[in-house]
């Protein structure tokens, strides 16, 4: 597999530049990292923002991920899978690897100092399993938000 990290072309406003970005990464950026990005936005801490990306992004967000997030009132239907870029990595306060389904495209090969969650990939799973995965992601995002909040108070 050939992997090259391009430059991130998204232009940030002055306000966003002061935010600390939490980057959620996986291979396809179609479900787990998209759900984590959505949950982090729900539980966002002042001065923080979330972003997700993949080493080999899919064409679209997994429809079951969109459906199960909608059950929690979180709309990720407009989110798009994105390529992981050097700028994203460089500009992130914390980077979370959701888990690796393909060893040769695993973000851990390209990004160091990751937080590893090792969450099962929902690709091809029944909706009940996707809900279980969503619930695990929510627990982990809440825990991460609490840790960040605690660090900011110290």
Q: Which residues does the annotation mark as catalytic?
A: 26, 100, 106
User: Which two structure tokens, joined as six digits, stand for 131?
Assistant: 């809900």
Q: Which residue reads 């009132």 in tokens?
A: 73
> What's the Cα-to-Cα distance from 127 to each of 67, 90, 133, rounded to whole Å?
9, 35, 10
Q: How far is CA 16 from the centre of its chain?
A: 18
Q: How many residues does the chain have?
A: 154
């Amino acid at each position: 597999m050939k992997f090259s990290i391009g430059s991130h072309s998204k232009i940030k406003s002055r306000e966003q530049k002061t935010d600390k970005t939490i980057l959620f990464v996986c291979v396809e950026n179609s479900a787990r990292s998209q759900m984590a990005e959505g949950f982090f936005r729900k539980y966002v801490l002042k001065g923080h923002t979330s972003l997700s990306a993949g080493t080999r992004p899919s064409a679209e967000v997994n429809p079951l991920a969109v459906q199960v997030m909608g059950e929690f009132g979180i709309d990720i239907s407009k989110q798009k899978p994105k390529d992981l870029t050097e700028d994203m990595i460089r500009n992130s306060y914390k980077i979370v690897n959701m888990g690796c389904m393909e060893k040769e495209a695993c973000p851990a090969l390209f990004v160091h100092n990751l937080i590893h969650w090792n969450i099962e990939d929902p690709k091809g799973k029944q909706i009940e399993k996707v809900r279980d995965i969503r619930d695990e992601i929510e627990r982990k995002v809440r825990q991460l938000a609490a840790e960040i909040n605690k660090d900011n108070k110290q």
